[in-house]
Homo-oligomer: A and B are copies of this chain.
Amino acid sequence: MLSIIPFIHQLFTDTIHEGDIVVDATLGNGHDSLVLSKLVGDNGKVFAFDIQQEAIDQAKQRFSENNRHNIYTFLKGHELATDILDEHTIDEIDGAIFNLGYLPGSDQQITTTETTTIQAIERLLDRLKSGGHIGIVIYPGHPEGRQEKEAVMDYLRNLSSKIADVAKYEMVNRSERAPFAVVIQKK
């Protein structure tokens, strides 16, 4: 059975194609961008965002070691991702990934937060092509994460099914604080 992050990666393996343009809304250690980079290939592009220079530096090192040259990193919050897409005259994206919470191994005081996370989802969903997916991994294991989970799930429960389908994939016989995945598919 797929665990949470492999479930989201499988989604993108099944739906992202050579030449696609995708957004990694939470670059972090760069693992997700690396997966996306290989899926979109040399003709595709990954736009990746993080608010920590430490994350950008580490991730760039990883991309260099893996000889990936199609990932564009930005020291910006993901709520500003669509502004960056505008600057690159990109009207439509093929997919986006969010891996919420804090940078693994770093200062746990710096986390994604509900207001900007929901803004980012709304704005990227607006740019998502019809049939495209946004995958989100949510971590209710820390206090800010629980608050963010409640707010994001409340937003998603109320998202009109005319705009998108939303599915949740979670482990049942684990702590309520275990991470889980959400997939949004635009109509």
Chain A residues in the interface with B (C-beta under 8 A): 1-2, 133, 153, 156-161, 164-174, 182-183, 185
Contact = CB atoms under 8 A, between A and B. Distances in A.
Contacts of A167: 1-2, 169-172
A177 to B, nearest CB: 14
28 contacts: A1-B133, A1-B165, A1-B183, A2-B167, A153-B172, A156-B172, A156-B173, A157-B172, A157-B173, A158-B173, A160-B173, A161-B173, A161-B174, A164-B173, A165-B171, A165-B173, A166-B171, A166-B173, A167-B170, A167-B171, A167-B172, A168-B168, A168-B169, A168-B170, A168-B171, A168-B172, A169-B169, A172-B182
Contacts of A173: 156-161, 164-166
A43 B2 CA distance: 28
The 7 closest A-B pairs by CB, nearest first: A166-B172, A1-B185, A166-B173, A159-B173, A168-B172, A156-B172, A1-B165
For the complex formed by this chain, how many copies does it contain in all? 2
A137 to B, nearest CB: 14
Nearest to A153: B172
Contacts of A161: 173-174
A157 to B, nearest CB: 6
A22 to B, nearest CB: 17
Contacts of A157: 172-173
A185 to B, nearest CB: 4
A183 B185 CA distance: 22
Which of the listed residues A172, A182, A183 has the most CB atoms from chain B within 10 Å of its own CB? A172
